[in-house]
Amino acid sequence: MSEEANVQFSEREALLFHSEGRPGKIEIVASKPLTTQRDLALAYSPGVAVPVQAIADDPATAYDYTAKGNLVAVVSNGTAILGMGNLGALASKPVMEGKAVLFKRFADVDSIDIELKSEDVDRIIDAVELMEPSFGGINLEDIKAPECFIIEQTLRERMNIPVFHDDQHGTAIITAAGLINACLLTGRKLGEIKVVVNGAGAAAIACTELIKRMGVRNDNVLMCDRKGVITPDREGINQWQSAHAVATDRSTLTEALVGADVFLGLSAAGALKPEMVKDMAPAPIIFAMANPEPEIRPELAKNVRPDAIVATGRSDYPNQVNNVIGFPFIFRGALDVRATGINDEMKIAAAQAIAELAREQVPEEVAIAYGRAHSFGPEYIIPAPFDPRLMENVSSAVAKAAMDSGVATKPILDMAGYRHALRGRLNPTTSVLTLAYEGARAHPKRVIFAEGEEEVVLRAAIAFRDGGYGTPVLVGRDDVHDRLRALGVSDPESFEVHNSRHSPLVPAMVDFLYARLQRRGYLRRDAERMVNQDRNIFGSLLLQLGEGDAMITGITRTYAQTMREVRKVIDVADGRTAFGVHIMVGQSHTVFIADTTVNERPSAEELADIAEQTAQVARRMGHEPRVAFLSYSTFGNPKGAFLDNIRDAVKVLDQRQVGFEYEGEMAPDVALNPRQLANYPFARLSGPANILIMPGLQSAHISAKLLRELGGDSMIGPMLVGMEKPVQVATMTSSASELVTLAVLAAGGIAR
């Protein structure tokens, strides 16, 4: 029912997330170069006068010359913040910033949060209406009922851009999608089902209105509030509630549910009792959407009715009613056709598109991450929030409905081309990373944190456990629990800590290590000393002995030194080459750079191995590989003495007949710039490369670190690939968040 995931974290971690670096979660970034005086003259005075006059002559051109067409205002007065109540406009700002982040992350919609310090309906209406020239759409959020009804309806009448109260309609659309599929699975028709709605607030009324618009009969819906069933003779109800009053002899929720097909709960925790569920019709459909605790837990409902289909607002149960499945894509479609509003036809189209998506074959990566149902069925009636197909399917359905219903002012003539453009608008890496996190929660693993005395590592371990991604196994001395307590952990003793000074595993570790190293000049006492004194050795041995599923280290020592220690215990996987990958992640692109950490002067065979294994990583992250072997030379120009291994690597891949595009040797601008690549029509790349294989460690390491410090994209890595055990070596400057990401990738098998 909301965008929040039911992930646990400490208050300290939440505050650090919002405060570290630049406070808050959003910033304004210029979309045009502003380097020279000429740039500034074009951007502002005198160049800006030209589009000003064009817009004055034809207001519609504002969509061509400004950001208006992709800009949404997220507006709140803080009177109904999440489940926390009326905490005021200023307190709502973190939530509204978060909403802006979701718009950008899921649908590439730019948005600005606007918090209005007023509970006066007329003042809020006037303030928002006056902002129409600035925005392409208005998303109302966390405004209490019944004021939200008045504000939205009035603004829709007065404004010529989409106005959408997500608390109402976002919830209604996802609920309707789930209801369509639940009815399909149980052989019901919308026009025949009997529905009980528990709750009479904004979301409940919006859900009721939408399902009635889709065919549910008025007299088949009973709406209840705290006092019972809402009937025409009830006093103390508002006009929006009275619109759904039905004459009936049933007065309580218990009575209303006898023989009911559907329960829509938008009320309070525990409102639906098991004995009430028992009295519902066969194969009851239950949407228990109170957050964070539903009206009934799915397991309680299924204890009395195993045939029930249950949805909640929680991410830790199947069938999550999550607004993020809808609102970003609804606005995307509405903005792209410059709709004057979001009408019922567009809402129904969104609900149907979402329902249809759940019935399609589920991509394997989504199925694995979802962790429960791998195909359409009682536990998969609503798509996962991170399904990468939502952008294309929902946005295009909304855009078409806007055109068909006459509210589109810029119709799309080529829908196939539009769907293709939607697919390319977002970076699949972001979805896959979300999938990795969800997969970790679905299949939690034991991850060894080898430097368990460092604060940043402990913070990562806390976040890893509290997020539900698995069990952290800490390596450290006797004071680790005290350090955890100092970080605010209430039960530090519940963390598993391994200390080499008194670990019963030490004798077995020494035997294992001595057997590996005795023919490399090491004595048994050398093995004993390393096990007792070196955390990387000790942690790697824990991994080898099966005490963990993956390991993360690297904070306290250089990468090269850490790798030397790890390699004393863990080998490279058979038939593979170990190497490091840095991953640059932008809004709409990802570039993989390898090898950035391990092999100083890789041979042709090693370069080919690195290319092939990086292509596998890219595919696991949702990309079709296009590999460029980089050099200072492009196809022999200029000539050089260090090109043979690169050229031979291409020949090796030719012989292997790999199933991806590759080319080289080539300079970076040729690999990445289509205009430069066009100068070489014989080149085998169909587009810019997304995998850059570096000729040697010196250039690779320098490039990766320069890009990390100077580039505008996010950087993941280095990610270690090719080891026989899942181990990741972080950089010494890694943050807790980066350590968690590496731990999740290692545990989830993406980095293998």
The pTM for the full model equals 0.77
Q: Is 227 a catalytic residue?
A: no
Cα 214 to Cα 345: distance, rounded to the nearest angstrom: 10
State how far the alpha carbon of 657 is from the alpha carbons of 267, 647, 688, 721, in Å: 60, 16, 21, 22
Q: Where are the alpha helices (DSSP H) in 449-591?
A: 455-466, 480-486, 506-517, 524-533, 535-544, 559-567
pLDDT above 60 (res 364): no
Q: Check whether 511 is labelled as a binding-site residue.
A: no
**Is 579-721 the same fold as 11-165?**
yes
pLDDT tens string 89-142:
999 999 999 999 999 988 999 999 999 999 999 999 999 999 999 999 999 999
Token pair recorded at residue 628: 């460029």
Cα radius of gyration (the chain): 29
Mean pLDDT of the chain: 91
What value does the mean pLDDT take over residues 397-402?
Answer: 97
Q: Cβ contacts of residue 194 below 8 Å, gap of 6+?
A: 220, 221, 222, 259, 260, 261, 262, 281
pLDDT of residue 4: 45
| Nearest in space to 101 (alpha carbons), one of 314, 323, 328, 315 | 328
**Residue among 68, 93, 99, 144 flagged as catalytic:** 99
85 appears as a binding residue in the annotation: yes
Q: What is the pLDDT of residue 3?
A: 47
- Least Cα distance to 697 among 604, 596, 614, 593 occurs for 596
Encoded tokens for 368: 């694995």
Structure confidence at residue 296 as a pLDDT band (50, 70, 90): very high
The residue ranges of every structural domain in the chain are 11-165, 437-567, 579-721
pLDDT in tens, 631-641: 999 998 888 77
Residue 180 has pLDDT above 50, yes or no: yes
Sheet with 550-553, strands from edge to edge, namely: 496-498, 470-475, 445-449, 550-553, 727-729
Predicted local confidence at residue 548, as pLDDT: 95
**pLDDT, position 367:** 58
- Report the topology of domain 11-165: Rossmann fold (3.40.50)
Residue 727 β-bridge partners: 551
What's the pLDDT tens digit per position in 304-321? 999 999 999 988 888 999
Strands 470-475 and 496-498: parallel
pLDDT value of position 1:
47
Q: Is 70 annotated as a binding residue?
A: no
C-alpha span between 506 and 547 (Å, rounded): 13
Measured CA angle at 391 (ends 386, 395), to 5 deg = 140
Residue 200 is predicted with a pLDDT of: 92
Res. 729: pLDDT tops 70: yes
142 is in an annotated binding site: yes
- Confidence at 5, pLDDT banded by 50, 70, 90: very low
Q: What contacts 115, CB < 8 A, 6 or more positions away?
A: 75, 76, 77, 78, 89, 90, 92, 93, 96
Answer whether residue 370 shows pLDDT above 60.
Answer: no
Closest CA to 626 of 664, 583, 578, 584: 664
579-721 sits in which CATH class?
A: alpha beta
Write out the CATH class of domain 437-567: alpha beta
Number of residues assigned to the chain: 752
At 188-224, the pLDDT tens digits run 999 999 999 999 998 999 999 999 999 999 999 999 9
pLDDT in tens, 64-95: 999 999 999 999 999 999 878 899 999 999 99
Range name among 197-201, 278-282, 293-297, 383-387 with the lowest pLDDT average: 383-387
7 — pLDDT class (breaks 50, 70, 90): low
pLDDT at 121: 97
Is the pLDDT reported for residue 543 higher than 50?
yes
**Pure H helices in 411-534:** 415-425, 428-442, 455-466, 480-486, 506-517, 524-533
- For 617-627, what is each residue's pLDDT tens digit? 888 877 889 99
Higher pLDDT, 369 or 689: 689
For residue 94, whether the previous peptide bond is cis, meaning omega lies within 30 degrees of 0, is: no
Does the pLDDT value for residue 275 go beyond 90? yes
Q: Which residues does 268 contact at the CB level (< 8 Å), separation at least 6?
A: 199, 290, 295
pLDDT of residue 431: 67
Flag whether 139 is marked binding.
Answer: no
pLDDT > 70: what percent of the chain? 96
